[in-house]
Amino acid sequence: MINPIFKNSFVYDYFTAFLKSDKRFPQSIVLEGFDTIFQYFFALELFRILNCLGDKTPNCTCTNCNWVKENRHPAFIQVTPVDFKDDGSKTVISVKQIEKVTSAIFETSDYHRFFIFSNVKTGTIQDKDKNNLLKYSDAGYTTEKEDWLPLPLNKKILQEEASNALLKSTEEAPNKVTFVFLCNNREDIISTIVSRSLLFKTPVENSKSSIDASQFLKDYPNISIKEGINRISSIMNYADENNLDYIDILDSFEENLLNVLKNNFENRQIFNMVNSDIQKIQLAKKQLMATVLPNNVLENLFISISPEGRNL
Ligand SMILES: [Zn+2]
């Protein structure tokens, strides 16, 4: 039924049980959590199962399941500041859009229709998000456009007037229409919508293993002080561009050195050196958590793991 890539989450357990019952599917759902990509694909997966004409398994190849996986099913409707829109504004979900939704829900349809409300990011997808998307593309799911990513809603995107207009639709929606709201926190959506919806917390993204900062450790263990300090600005750019925490980067450093360690169990001298460098990385993480400036932390780290610095 629900694809196991969504396992280990409350929504997976809840809807696995729910879909076995013959209860009416909820009209309005709020998904709350920091992994918007998970929320988006989970909504798509629920939509797939509700519209499947086959055995409902993740491998089903009925027309609807195929359309869903290619993300071109006409009844899965993304409502964002740029999608499902005729007016010119690009920064909000407008009242006009809500009117369009309202009239759409009363058109007859053979499908169980989903209206997904989110913010949106268009343009180049950053490495961190690409890594997160991989899990879904490996399972055969895709976003509608390659340069399109869902972002969480907030009250600037879905403002009070549009929210109020929508409220009426959520109450009057006919059978087989479901509204889904993607957000980090329920506070980001007007409370009257939240109170009329089923609210679910979704899991946080597990990004740790997906970051590879090994490029910045090139030539380790022979990175000179000068070379190490030269790399700091690239590391900071990399963190900025990919929306990463410096601790994520140090996690990746630690993982890299642990691999070096594993390959050098026989060589006592190298083993001890790498082991001691790992402790320096762990110290650097503590300093970052204690809000020492990242630039200073990285500088100290590169000095302490350089051939010159190790002997200081
Ligand atoms: Zn199917």
The residue ranges of every structural domain in the chain are 4-201, 211-310
For residue 111, report the distance from its CA to the centre of ligand 1, in Å: 13
For residue 17, report the distance from its CA to the centre of ligand 1, in Å: 19
What tokens does 15 get? 């809807």
The whole-number pLDDT of residue 303 equals: 96
Q: Is the pLDDT of residue 178 over 90?
A: yes
Average pLDDT, the chain: 91
Higher pLDDT, 311 or 97: 97
The whole-number pLDDT of residue 199 equals: 93
Q: How confident is the model at residue 20 (pLDDT cuts 50, 70, 90)?
A: very high
Arithmetic mean of pLDDT, 186-207: 86
Q: Is the pLDDT of residue 182 over 90?
A: yes
CA distance 296 to 236: 12
Ion ligand 1: residues, CB within 5 A, are 52, 54, 60, 62, 65
Q: Is the pLDDT of residue 208 over 50?
A: no
Q: What string of H, E and C letters represents the secondary structure of the chain?
A: CCCHHHCCCHHHHHHHHHHHCCCCCCCEEEEECCCHHHHHHHHHHHHHHHHCCCCCCCCCCCHHHHHHHCCCCCCEEEECCCCCCCCCCCCCCCHHHHHHHHHHHCCCCCCCEEEEECEEEECCCCHHHHHHHHHHHHCCCCCCCCCEEEECECCCCCCHHHHHHHHHHHHHCCCCEEEEEEECCHHHCCHHHHHCCEEEECCCCCCHHHCCCHHHHCCCCCCCHHHHHHHHHHHHHHHHHCCCCHHHHHHHHHHHHHHHHHCCCCCHHHHHHHHHHHHHHHHHHHHHHCCCCHHHHHHHHHHHCCHHHHCC
216-220, 232-236, 243-247: least confidently modelled range = 243-247
Higher pLDDT, 268 or 159: 159
136-145, 148-157, 301-310: least confidently modelled range = 136-145
Backbone angles phi, psi at 201, to 5 degrees: -85, 135
The dotted CATH code for 4-201 is: 3.40.50.300
Q: Is the pLDDT of residue 144 over 90?
A: no
The whole-number pLDDT of residue 5 equals: 92
The whole-number pLDDT of residue 210 equals: 59
pTM: 0.68
For residue 139, report the distance from its CA to the centre of ligand 1, in Å: 15
For residue 68, report the distance from its CA to the centre of ligand 1, in Å: 9
Q: How confident is the model at residue 191 (pLDDT cuts 50, 70, 90)?
A: very high
| Residue 120 β-bridge partners | 150
Work out the angle at residue 79's Cα, subtended by the Cα atoms of residues 85 and 126, and round it to the nearest 5 degrees. Answer: 105
The amino acid present at 52, given as its one-letter code, is C
Q: How confident is the model at residue 207 (pLDDT cuts 50, 70, 90)?
A: very low
